[in-house]
Amino acid sequence: VSGGRSFQARSVDVAVIGAGTAGLAAFRAASAATSRVLLIEGGAHGTTCARVGCMPSKLLIAAADAAHDARHAAGFGVRACVEIDGPAVMRRVRRERDRFVGVVVARVDGISADQKLSGRARFLGPGVLDVEGTIVHARAVVVATGSSPRVPSMFSGLRDRMVVSDDVFDWTDLPDSMAIFGAGIIGIELGQALHRLGVRVRIFGRGGEIRPLTDPVVRACAARTLAAEMPVDLDAKLRGLRLIDERVVVEWEATPGELRSESFSYALVAAGRRPNVGGLDPERGGIVLGAGGVVLSDRTTTRVGTTNVFFAGDASGDVALLHEANDEGTIAGENAARFPDVRPGARRSPLAIVFTDPQLAVAGAGFLQAAASRPDVIVGEVSFEDQGRSRMMGKNRGVARLYADRSSGRFLGAEMAGPRAEHIGHLLAWAHQQQLTIDQMIAMPFYHPVVEEGIRTALQDASAKLPIHVHR
């Protein structure tokens, strides 16, 4: 008993903070080596992915795609009447979301009670945690606390008319209008989905960016295509943001000197996410924070400096994607269990996909990375406008750009906006991980007629630009 508070103490080999995707992967990996593993969760079980992330966002997009396809069926000579039933749309999103959450919760239920602890953890010292009164001593700690939406202070005056993506999936109906701030993955995915479901939206971006694209040609094509469908200003000059009569009134400079304003039911702030590290008192755990409060952990071992702490998933501030969280969790769990014998884990080729229409994908090195590391990078390109299969489906919009190393002919990576990018992105990432050359990729089978034939065209374009000796 200290200062009137009673403390319990636990001693374990590995403490995992956070039972999200990364934390569960870490728990599983550490448990393969030791049973003295403790999984600490301060919120509801079920993971960000299943509860408010990948799964419910793609459920909403699936509804939006159904509406869009029905609306455009007339172009094929098929007439359909489209009526959006907002409560029914959100019912399905919530019902299926709950199913996905239930699967994760059942998995957590299967973990023995003495290996789980509820409460928010914070460091008291290296390897020592306070979990709301329980003191945990651990030989090694995995921090897998995820991330939270970043909400700049300019939005605080909007009170409950300001929402973040977490809120969207609990709606019981669709709003009539929504101003969306941020043109990152979450902003444009949700923005286009809501637009297709009949919500009046306007997306306000910054700096002309569409994350994760870095190729100016692909980005311009994506920007044009999205803007042709709905109001998107990727470099918005915001001049005012107020709450008037419970409505969000946005004022912006449409062209120099021309002020415009529009009123919306809500503002969705999709201005990025920040790692959940603040409340952990990381410095007490011996962790030195880098610029902007980001933890500097090693990408291959997930270890922070020479400490006994490993960061995994969104908390690491690295790439905030599910499959990366899973891999990092596994590496962190293995290393924490065998600490201090820390080994590098295998990382896969980068792959990011955005479920807009056209879909976006970056596989391997994106343009910036490919071109920055090799100034004489070769670019093979294809437009999907005249691509056979894409035209058949009425999805002939977009472009793919493939990057190759001039001296070896090796495929470096690609960016694309176009049909079936979720699948083509995988083929390209797999080719990248196998370190294939452009010619080896061309030698792979291509069926007819498929969208992948477009990728062959881009490969042939790159091949034709390679010096003769590379083809030998």
Ligand X SMILES: Cc1cc2nc3c(=O)[nH]c(=O)nc-3n(C[C@H](O)[C@H](O)[C@H](O)COP(=O)(O)OP(=O)(O)OC[C@H]3O[C@@H](n4cnc5c(N)ncnc54)[C@H](O)[C@@H]3O)c2cc1C
Stretch that binds ligand X, among 91-99, 170-178, 286-294, 311-319 (CB under 6 A): 311-319
Considering the complex, what minimum distance in angstroms separates the CB of residue 463 from ligand X?
32
Considering the complex, what minimum distance in angstroms separates the CB of residue 19 from ligand X?
5
Binding mask 103-142 for ligand X (x = CB under 6 A): -----------------xx---------------------
Stretch that binds ligand X, among 197-205, 230-238, 275-283, 463-471 (CB under 6 A): 275-283
Q: Interface with ligand X includes 305 (CB under 6 A)?
A: no
The interface with ligand X within residues 21-50 (CB under 6 A) comprises: 21-23, 40-43, 47-49
Stretch that binds ligand X, among 52-60, 74-82, 196-204, 229-237 (CB under 6 A): 52-60
Instruction: Kindly state the number of chain residues that form the binding site for ligand X, as judged by CB under 6 A.
Output: 36
Stretch that binds ligand X, among 143-151, 237-245, 373-381, 397-405 (CB under 6 A): 143-151
The correct pick among 12, 17, 63, 428 for binding ligand X (CB under 6 A) is 17
Closest among 106, 88, 108, 86 to 96, alpha carbons compared: 88
Considering the complex, what minimum distance in angstroms separates the CB of residue 458 from ligand X?
25
Considering the complex, what minimum distance in angstroms separates the CB of residue 210 from ligand X?
16
Stretch that binds ligand X, among 155-163, 207-215, 293-301, 318-326 (CB under 6 A): 318-326
The interface with ligand X within residues 154-183 (CB under 6 A) comprises: 165
Q: Give residue 276's Cα distance to chain centre.
A: 16
- Residue whose Cβ sits closest to ligand X: 20
Minimum CB distance to ligand X smaller for 233 or for 314 = 314
The correct pick among 53, 191, 345, 380 for binding ligand X (CB under 6 A) is 53
Considering the complex, what minimum distance in angstroms separates the CB of residue 183 from ligand X?
14
Considering the complex, what minimum distance in angstroms separates the CB of residue 370 from ligand X?
22
The correct pick among 16, 31, 57, 140 for binding ligand X (CB under 6 A) is 57
How wide is the angle at C-alpha 293 spanned by C-alphas 288 and 294, nearest 5°? 80
Query: What Cα–Cα distance (Å) separates residue 335 from each residue in 18, 127, 227, 286, 300?
Result: 17, 15, 47, 18, 11
Considering the complex, what minimum distance in angstroms separates the CB of residue 424 from ligand X?
16
Minimum CB distance to ligand X smaller for 22 or for 436 = 22
CB atoms within 10 A of CB 98: 14
Q: Interface with ligand X includes 203 (CB under 6 A)?
A: no
Phi, psi of 381 (to 5 degrees): -135, 150
The correct pick among 145, 214, 302, 383 for binding ligand X (CB under 6 A) is 145
Stretch that binds ligand X, among 63-71, 248-256, 291-299, 322-330 (CB under 6 A): 322-330
Q: Interface with ligand X includes 402 (CB under 6 A)?
A: no
Q: Is the peptide bond between 152 and the residue preceding it cis, with omega within 30 degrees of 0?
A: no
Minimum CB distance to ligand X smaller for 334 or for 405 = 334
The correct pick among 31, 214, 276, 307 for binding ligand X (CB under 6 A) is 276
Stretch that binds ligand X, among 27-35, 94-102, 317-325, 451-459 (CB under 6 A): 317-325
Considering the complex, what minimum distance in angstroms separates the CB of residue 354 from ligand X?
8
Minimum CB distance to ligand X smaller for 317 or for 380 = 317
User: Rounded CA gap, 357 and 418, in Å?
Assistant: 7
- Would you say 260 and 173 are in contact if contact means Cβ atoms under 8 Å apart? no
List residues binding ligand X (CB under 6 A): 17-23, 40-43, 47-49, 52-54, 57, 120-121, 144-146, 165, 186, 276, 279-280, 313-315, 320-323, 325
